[in-house]
Amino acid sequence: MTQIAHDRLLIIDFGSQVTQLIARRLRELNVYCEIHPFNKVDDAFLASFAPKAVIFSGGPASVFADGAPMPPGAVFGMGVPILGICYGQQVMMHCLGGKVERGHGTAEFGRAYVTPTAAVDPILTGWFDTDDGMGGREQVWMSHGDHVSQIAPGFEVLGTSPNAPFAITADRSRHFYAVQFHPEVHHTPKGAKLYENFVRLAGFKGDWTMGAYREEAIRKIREQVGSEKVICGLSGGVDSSVAAVLIHEAIGDQLTCVFVDHGLLRLGEAEQVVSMFRDTYNIPLIHADESDLFLGALEGVSDPEVKRKTIGRLFIDVFDKHAKSVGGAKFLAQGTLYPDVIESVSFSGGPSVTIKSHHNVGGLPEKMGMKLVEPLRELFKDEVRALGRELGLPPAFIGRHPFPGPGLAIRCPGEITREKLDILRRADAVYIDQIRKHGLYDDIWQAFAAILPMKTVGVMGDGRTYDYALALRAVTSVDGMTADYYPFSHDFLGETATRIINEVQGVNRVFYDCTSKPPGTIELE
């Protein structure tokens, strides 16, 4: 287990989609925490982890289900503060002698308002102000079917909502707190304050910083890798670049980067990446032009999951080949981020639904006999950027919009052809140029063009055209987990559509995608 000099908080994961957001809120408070799945946390683990406080996450299960996830028995006797969230509250009450009931019309999903039922406790400092326009109540985000119907002995109610009479409960003497809502999500505006109060009550000093993360990550990489060789897949995006620079700092020339040009990159991208890594960072780099291999395998494929899996499989084959060429690399490094993980498998092995098979997640086939080094696996995008700044990467590079591993393949719904990719590349370059010229690049989290699987009729000059339609996408986001479309002005959209159609042969129509995430995803596939 990790040995850390900082105070440690343990998050016991019961499988919620948003467990990692709890960790994020804590890191914002400079608190070191680790997430471990409930089925890996037993009494012995607790004793060796020695947390200063524990949080029980939410989760999809019901305490009534056979084999319902439970915390280890010893946790309540450790004398440390505990905070239970949603399922975490229910399981806490269940274990400590309270009662949980099935929904029966009392389920709550989405926004709810909590009002205080007792004098404001220190866990709620900053809540229920009467002068903030909320009339002494607070907005929270609920998502529960079951609910607590009787609190455990020693607990009292601090806040209530119309469908959750025990929305906020506390056993003040033991510092056990339990809430029915999710304070970690943005839709609970004062949720961060609740975590701040909790860690303050638990005595955390707030000494966990990105500098500390860097040192710790370097130490872990050295420990994991020893004197073995590592190859790192560079995609040209910020994540794999930050991972490469971090690993290079840890193990120097034991690292070789492999930049796979799958023929699905943006205009001029391969040249930029190769020059930055070879010339600026002096990191050994193999530039593998494998576009024929990838595009050949993708010919005629239009199913999004088949595309992703094909690309993932070929990446692994190509890495395998190059790992052998650098003389037996034992490790493969990847810039996998937390959002990649949560949408592919549950971060900590618990139950979580698959939305997309991200090409860089899921482990390596046995045949490769390589182990993964993924130093960014617990970080969100903006935290990776902070780490990149910490490592001294150029600000313009760190500020680049994310680019997915499967590249333009997932921006080309339907069949992929070289002709479509070529049109897409040129249109995307015009779109990004427009965004930069209007000074909007840094306000947008990610922007790109996608080529649609349809042709439409147009008229140019005095002639008929029958050309491709493009979709433009631009979103704001904090971490890629949720996103909203960017509200361009009509003038900007009109000017951009005109430029693209004038400058890129093969396009005669441009749409703007106004879908948020959810219900959409950021990429089209």
Query: Which H or E element spans position 259?
Result: strand 255-261
Residue closest to 359 by CA, chosen among 319, 315, 317, 323: 315
Q: Pick from 69, 405, 407, 506: which binds ligand XMP (CB under 6 A)?
A: 405
Residue closest to 444 by CA, chosen among 353, 373, 522: 522
Catalytic residue numbers read: 86, 182, 184
Question: How many Cβ atoms sit within 10 Å of the Cβ of residue 515?
Answer: 16
* Rg, C-alpha atoms of the chain: 25
CA 309 to centroid of chain Cα atoms: 20
Q: Pick from 57, 446, 496, 508: which binds ligand XMP (CB under 6 A)?
A: 446
Strand partners, 170: 156, 177
Residue number, 75 or 342, with CB nearest to ligand XMP = 342
Segment 52 to 91, residues that bind ligand XMP, using CB under 6 A: none
Number of residues engaging ligand XMP in binding (CB under 6 A): 17
Give the x/- contact pattern for ligand XMP in 213-242, rule: CB under 6 A.
Answer: ------------------------------
Rounded least distance, CB 310 to ligand XMP, Å: 12
Residue number, 16 or 446, with CB nearest to ligand XMP = 446
Segment 453 to 512, residues that bind ligand XMP, using CB under 6 A: 480
**425 sits near ligand XMP (criterion: CB under 6 A):** no
* H helices present in 326-417, as ranges: 338-342, 381-390, 395-398
Rounded least distance, CB 417 to ligand XMP, Å: 21
DSSP string, 175-209: TEEEESS-TTSTTSTTHHHHHHHHHHHTT------
Residue number, 6 or 359, with CB nearest to ligand XMP = 359
Rounded least distance, CB 517 to ligand XMP, Å: 5
Segment 503 to 522, residues that bind ligand XMP, using CB under 6 A: 517, 521-522
Segment 323 to 382, residues that bind ligand XMP, using CB under 6 A: 339-340, 343, 356, 358-360
Residue number, 54 or 522, with CB nearest to ligand XMP = 522
Residue number, 201 or 421, with CB nearest to ligand XMP = 421
Q: Pick from 236, 404, 407, 413: which binds ligand XMP (CB under 6 A)?
A: 404
Rounded least distance, CB 479 to ligand XMP, Å: 9
Question: How many Cβ atoms sit within 10 Å of the Cβ of residue 293?
Answer: 16
Buried b (16+ CB within 10 A) or exposed e, 180-199: bbbbbbeebebbbbbbbbbb
Residue number, 193 or 425, with CB nearest to ligand XMP = 425
**191 sits near ligand XMP (criterion: CB under 6 A):** no
- d(C-alpha 218, C-alpha 223), whole Å: 9
One-letter amino acid of 105 = G
Rounded least distance, CB 413 to ligand XMP, Å: 12
Stretch that binds ligand XMP, among 186-194, 196-204, 370-378, 399-407 (CB under 6 A): 399-407
Place of tokens 């996830």: 69
Buried b (16+ CB within 10 A) or exposed e, 261-286: bbbbbbbebbeebbebbeeeeebbbb
Rounded least distance, CB 37 to ligand XMP, Å: 23
Rounded least distance, CB 356 to ligand XMP, Å: 5
Residue number, 88 or 406, with CB nearest to ligand XMP = 406
Backbone angles phi and psi of 188, in degrees to 5: -105, 85
**Encoding tokens for residue 138?**
């607070």
Residue number, 375 or 402, with CB nearest to ligand XMP = 402
Q: Pick from 37, 236, 263, 406: which binds ligand XMP (CB under 6 A)?
A: 406
One-letter amino acid of 179 = V
Stretch that binds ligand XMP, among 283-291, 400-408, 450-458, 507-515 (CB under 6 A): 400-408
Task: Using alpha carbons, list the distances in angstroms from residue 502 to 104, 179, 344, 517.
Answer: 60, 57, 40, 31
Task: Using alpha carbons, list the distances in angstroms from residue 331 to 318, 372, 389, 486.
Answer: 14, 6, 26, 40
Cα dihedral 485/449/336/393 (nearest 10): -90
- d(C-alpha 415, C-alpha 124), whole Å: 54
Rounded least distance, CB 523 to ligand XMP, Å: 3
Residue number, 180 or 446, with CB nearest to ligand XMP = 446
Stretch that binds ligand XMP, among 75-83, 92-100, 208-216, 401-409 (CB under 6 A): 401-409
- d(C-alpha 478, C-alpha 517), whole Å: 12
- d(C-alpha 261, C-alpha 288), whole Å: 6
**402 sits near ligand XMP (criterion: CB under 6 A):** yes
Which residues contribute to the site for ligand XMP (CB under 6 A)? Answer: 339-340, 343, 356, 358-360, 402, 404-406, 446, 480, 517, 521-523
